[in-house]
Structure 1
C-alpha cells in the first residue's frame, strides 16, 4: 500500500502540480542545455582557436647571422623539423634605390608560400606566382616610386624593372617594403634568403618544443618566438577555458537554487500527504526516496531535452564564430547527466530534512 502511495504521489506531484513541475523541468533543461553546449564547444575549443590564430601569421622567426645566407636546404629542413602542418616562407632583404633616388627595402620571397602563411595581409591583388617580374608594394613604399605599374630599382649598380601587381597594407614594416619573387631577387642582387618565418599550429608548449628542436638543428641561427602571438594565444585559450568552467558552475548554482525553491514549496504544499504516509507506516527513508525520485525524474527529463537543445546551440555558436560546424558529442552526455543528478540531489537535500521534522498527529489534526 505504501509502495502504491509512493508512485501515486509522484504522479500527482508531476501531473497535478504542473506549474511547479514545469518550472523545475525548465531549470533542469537549461542546466543540461548550457552544459551540453559548453562541453561540446570545449571539446573542439583548442583546435578551433589554434586555427583562428593561424591567420595571424608566423609565430617563430629564424634569422641567419649578418651577411651569411641560409643553407641551401634550410627551408626543407625547417619544414621537416616543424611538422607537416607548419607553414614556412623564406625571405631575402636588400636596400635598393628607386627611380626617384629614394632608398627602399626590397624583399624576395615565394608569393604562394607567403599567401598561405600571412593570410592576414590586406592585399589588393596577389601576383601570379609564375611571373618573375611581379611586385607587391607596401602602401608607404608605393609613395617612393614614380610609377606603381613599372617599378625601377637599382642595387649595387644593377637595375631591374618590376611590374607592380598590387598593394599591401599591414600596419607594420611590410608597408614600407617592396616584395618580389625570390629567384628574381637573388639573380638581381646576388643575395640569398636570410630569414625564415614559421607558423606552428598548437599551443605554447608545442611552439616551445619546436623552438628547442630548431635551435638544436640550426645552432648557427637565431630562433625566436613571436612573443605577442605565442603568449597571446596561450592566455586567450586559458582564459576561455576558465570562462567556460565558470559559466557552467554559475549556471549550475543558479539552477540548484531554482529547483530548491520549487521542491521546498512542493514539500510545504504536501505536508498532509507526507504525514498521512507516516501515519500509515511509511518510513523516513521511503519518504525521502520518493522525494529524491521526483527530483531525479525531472533531472533525467531535463537531460533528454537539454542535450538536444545544447547540441543545436553548440552547432550554431561554432558555425557563427568559427565557420565550422560542431557536431553533437554523445561523450559529453554522461557528464551532463552527472551534473543534473548532482543538482537535483543537492536541491532535494533541504526539503528532505524538512520531512524528518514532520509530526503526523499534529498535521492531521490541522495544527
Structure 2
C-alpha cells in the first residue's frame, strides 16, 4: 500500500474513532461509566490500603497495652524503666503500676494500685471513667470496689497500720479485674506504701513483628525482668490486618472482573453495530492490524478518561471513609495513579480482545451487499 493510501486510511480511522465516541454516546457512556467505577473503587481501596496499617494500629492502640513487663524479685528501678522506654521507642506508652492490699474503712481488703493517671488515660482510653483524678489526693474507684467503701467522698485506706484519707472523684467500669481495684496517684502510693512499681504496661506501636522485636530486645537487655505480650491483642491485631488486606485485594479483583464483563458486552455490541463501517474500511485498504488498533484505541481512550474521573471520585470516597470510620482523613496519593491507570487499561484491553476477533472474519463484499 502506498504512503498516501496509508495516510488516508489513518485519517479515516481517526475520523471513525471520533465519530464512534461522538455519535454512539449511549454505548460509549456505558463503557465509560463502568471504567470510571472501576477506577474510583480501585483508587479508594488502594488509597485506604496505603494508610490501612497505620489506621488499624492506631485503633488497636485504644485497647490498651500489648506488652507487660514484670519483676518478681524486686521493684523495677527508674533506670530499668528508662531502658524499657528506650527499647519500646519514642512513640510508645509505658505505664508503671504498683499494687498492694489495703483495708477500707469497712475493714474489707481491697487491691489498691498506684498509677500515673495522665499515662493511663492515654493507654486505656477505652475505660469507662466518669472523671479522671487530677490531684494528688484524688482516687479512682472501680465499680465493685466502690461497694467496699463507706464514704466515697472521703476514702480512708489502711496499709501496714498507716491510714490514708483521699477523695473519690470518679467510677471506673471495664467489666474486668479493674472494677475491683482502687487507683491512686503513683507518687501518693509510693509515699504511703513505700513500694515502687513491679509492673510496666507498654503500648508498642506497630504490628506483631514490631512487638516481637521489642520483646526480644527486652529479654536480651533486661534478663532480670519478664516481658510478655498480651497475646489476644497482638494475635487479634495481626489477624484482622491480614484479613483486611485480603478483603481489599479480593474486592479490587472482583470489581475488575465485573467491569471487564460489562465493558466486554458493550464493546461486543459496538462491533456488531459497526460491522459495515469496518467492512468499508477494509475494502478501502485498511489492514487487520489497523482495524484492531482503532478498536483497541477506542477502548483505551475510554479507560484513560475513566481513570481521570475515577481517581477524583475515588480519592473523595477514601477521604469520606477515613473520616467516618477512623476519625482521620485519608488524603489522595498520586503514587497509586499509575497502578489505577494500568489496571483500567488492562481491563479495557482484555475486554477488547474478544470483540476484535470478530473483525478478522469480516467479509467486506458480503456485508456491503447487505448479506
Q: TM-score, normalised by structure 1?
A: 0.97
> What's 1:217 paired with?
221
Structure 1: distance between partners of 2:323 and 2:191:
47
Cα deviation 1:305-343 (Å, max 9, x = unaligned): 111111111111111111111211111110010001000
The aligned length equals: 364
CA RMSD of aligned residues (A): 1.0
> What's 1:77 paired with?
83
Contact 1:65 1:220 (8 Å CA) reproduced: no
Post-superposition offset of 1:74? 2.2
Post-superposition offset of 1:73? 2.0
Which stretches of structure 1, 4 residues or longer, exceed 6 Å deviation after superposition? none
> What's 2:98 paired with?
92
1:178 to 168, 178, 182: 182
> What's 1:148 paired with?
152
Post-superposition offset of 1:132? 2.4
Structure 1: distance between partners of 2:36 and 2:71:
59
Relative to structure 2, which stretch is displaced further, 70-79 or 212-221? Answer: 70-79
1:285 to 278, 282, 289: 289
- Aligned ranges for residues 187-226 of structure 1 at < 5 Å? 187-226=191-230
1:52 to 52, 59, 65: 59
Residues 1:65 and 2:63 aligned together: no
2:349 to 336, 345, 352: 345
Structure 2: distance between partners of 1:72 and 1:22:
69
Post-superposition offset of 1:44? 1.0
Partner of 1:73, secondary structure, is helix
Post-superposition offset of 1:190? 2.1
Residues 1:28 and 2:35 aligned together: yes
Cα deviation 1:207-254 (Å, max 9, x = unaligned): 000011111122111110001111111111111111111111110110
Structure 2: distance between partners of 1:76 and 1:179:
23
Structure 2, gaps ≥5 residues long: 1-7
Structure 1: distance between partners of 2:345 and 2:119:
53
> What's 1:355 paired with?
359
Relative to structure 2, which stretch is displaced further, 337-346 or 217-226? Answer: 217-226
Structure 2: distance between partners of 1:279 and 1:188:
102
Partner of 2:370, secondary structure, is coil
> What's 1:37 paired with?
44
Structure 2: distance between partners of 1:260 and 1:132:
72
Structure 2: distance between partners of 1:4 and 1:191:
90
Structure 1: distance between partners of 2:188 and 2:79:
18
Structure 1: distance between partners of 2:358 and 2:292:
10
Post-superposition offset of 1:4? 2.0
